[in-house]
């Protein structure tokens, strides 16, 4: 019985650390796509009167990347909710010991 509780305890700890690592990974991707949004704004600003294709590419790129940033932000939010649920279950397991 004690061995299965230790195994369960280690499993919860591994899952919590893995989920937190993946959330941090998503935050890096969100920063990357935010940077691309900034570059697309610059592209749109500098080529508004010079080149229609680069201006249009800046608008499309910016719009798509803003949507990606919001989707990744939502995934981070849901991931943090999942981690909090796992931590609550882990605390219940510890209290039950």
**Measured distance between the N- and C-terminal CA atoms of the chain, rounded to whole angstroms:** 11
**Listed residue (65, 18, 24, 14) closest to 44, CA to CA:** 65
What number of other Cβ atoms are within 10 A of residue 80's Cβ?
Answer: 13
Query: What pLDDT does 93 receive?
Result: 81
- Return d(Cα 12, Cα 68) in angstroms, integer: 31
Which residues of the chain, if any, have pLDDT below 70? 1-3, 97
Query: What pLDDT does 90 receive?
Result: 86
**Contact status, residue 76 vs residue 33, Cβ threshold 8 Å:** no
Query: What pLDDT does 95 receive?
Result: 82
Note the pTM of the prediction, 2 decimals: 0.84
Helix (H, G, I), strand (E, B) or coil at 97: coil
* Angle CA 74–78–82, to nearest 5: 165
Instruction: Give every CB contact of residue 61 below 8 A, 6+ residues apart in sequence.
Output: 36, 39, 40, 43
Query: What pLDDT does 3 receive?
Result: 67
């Amino acid at each position: 019985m004690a061995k299965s509780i230790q195994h369960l305890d280690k499993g919860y700890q591994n899952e919590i650390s893995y989920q937190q690592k993946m959330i941090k990974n998503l935050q890096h991707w969100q920063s990357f796509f935010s940077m691309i949004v900034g570059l697309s704004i610059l592209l749109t600003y500098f080529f508004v009167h010079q080149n229609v294709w680069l201006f249009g590419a800046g608008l499309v790129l910016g719009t798509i990347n803003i949507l990606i940033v919001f989707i990744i932000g939502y995934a981070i939010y849901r991931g943090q909710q999942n981690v909090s649920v796992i931590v609550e279950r882990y605390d219940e397991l510890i209290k039950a010991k």
